[in-house]
Amino acid sequence: MFVIAQISDLHFDGGPDHRRRVAAVMDYLNGRCGGPRNIDALLVTGDVADEGLPEEYREALDALSTDIPMLMTLGNHDERAAYSAVVRGDECSEPVNSALHLSGLLILALDSSIPGRSDGYIARATLDWARAQIAESGPDTDVLVSFHHPAVPVGIPFIDDRRQLDPDLLAEFVAEHPNIVGCVAGHAHTPATTTFAGRPHVIAPGVASTLNLPFEGTDIVNAAQQPGVAFHLIDDDHRLTTHFRGVPA
C-alpha cells in the first residue's frame, strides 16, 4: 500500500499565522506520522505563496523541510518565474510540472495555473508530457494525477467561478488511461470528494484557511477550522481511499 500526504493552499506571506499553521502540519507529518518511514510522498498542490514573491518561496523551502519525497505544483496565487528561480534555480515562465516514479506508482503534479488569472486550465502540452511519463512507467503502474484547480464544481460559488475553465482535454486524458486511480486538487480550501471522468476526484483541505460552504455563514473564510492534510491510500486492488485530518496549530 502507498501512502501519499497532500497539503494545499499554504499562502506563505511573510507573516507568522500562515507560517505557524504550516509548521504544525509539517511537525505532524515528520513526527507523529513517521515521515518517510510511513509516507511515500508529499504533494503540495499550489498556492504555495500568497503573492508569488521570491521571498515567499524562500520561506516555503525553509518551512517545508522534510525527508519525505515531495512534489509541488502551482496555483493561481503563484508566479512561475519566481518559483522556478528560487526552487529550481532556473527562471522560467513555462508550466511547472513534475513527476515522481515509485515502484508500482506514478504521481503526476500538473500545472493548472494561468498567469494573471484566478481560474485554471491544463494545457495540451502539459497533458502530452504527462502521457510520456505514463508510457515510461508502463500500463501496470498505478497513476495519481494532481493539480491545483478542481475540474468540477464543489459547491462553493467563490471557488466554482474560479475552477478549471475547460476540463474536456483532461477528461479525455483520464479516459485514455485506465491505470489512473484518481485525481486530486486544492484551491477550494475545503476537504471534499467527488468524481471526474469516472474516477475519484479529491480536494484537499487548506492549510492557511478553510472556506465556508454557502450555508455556513456569510463570511468567505471559516476561521474556526484547523489546518488540514489529506492522506491518500492506494492499495493492492488499485483503490484510492482518502482520509482527512485537522492539525491543531
Q: Would you say 96 and 111 are in contact if contact means Cβ atoms under 8 Å apart?
A: yes
Residue type, 96: V
Q: Find the CATH number of the domain harbouring 156.
A: 3.60.21.10
| Percent helix, percent strand, percent coil in the chain, to nearest 5 | 30, 30, 45
- Note the pLDDT of residue 54: 97
- How many domains does the chain contain in total? 1
pLDDT of residue 192: 98
Give pLDDT, residue 92.
84
No. of helices (H) and no. of strands (E), the chain: 6, 11
Where the chain has pLDDT below 50, the residues are none
What is the reported pLDDT for 159? 95
Mind listing the pLDDT tens digit for each residue in 54-87?
A: 999 999 999 999 999 999 999 999 999 999 999 9
Residue 91 confidence (pLDDT)? 79
The parent domain of residue 27 ranges over 2-246
Query: What was the pLDDT predicted at 164?
Result: 96
Give the list of residues 6+ apart from residue 174 with CB closer than 8 angstroms, or none.
Answer: 145, 180, 183, 196, 197, 198, 199
- pLDDT of amino acid 202: 98
